[in-house]
């Protein structure tokens, strides 16, 4: 193998490494974006779960009030 072939091989290897570094950086950026989106969705899920619990509580309160009113009406 002469020195020109070695230089060519090193250039090819360098290009491949540069491409690999570029791909790794892109994947890291994408991972950061996806992590941020995931965190936002987790917050949103928490808010929606809180809303659901409030609606359940309100529904139970309404059910109890209706039951109480029905009992009063039965007493008339």
Report how far Cα 50 is from the mean position of its chain's Cα atoms: 18
Question: Would the pTM count as exceeding 0.85?
Answer: no
Lookup result for tokens 């917050």? 43
Q: Where are the domains of the chain?
A: 47-76
19-28-34 Cα angle (round to 5): 135
Report how far Cα 43 is from the mean position of its chain's Cα atoms: 9
The tokens for 34 are 């996806």
Q: How confident is the model at residue 11 (pLDDT cuts 50, 70, 90)?
A: very high
The tokens for 53 are 């619990």
Q: Tell me: pLDDT of 70 over 90.
A: yes
């Amino acid at each position: 193998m002469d020195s020109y072939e070695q230089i060519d091989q090193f250039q090819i290897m360098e290009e491949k490494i540069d491409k690999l570094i570029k791909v790794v950086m892109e994947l890291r950026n994408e991972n950061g974006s996806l992590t941020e989106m995931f965190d936002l969705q987790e917050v949103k899920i928490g808010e929606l779960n809180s809303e659901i619990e409030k609606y359940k509580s309100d529904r139970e309160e309404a059910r109890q009030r209706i039951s109480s009113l029905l009992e009063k009406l039965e007493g008339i």
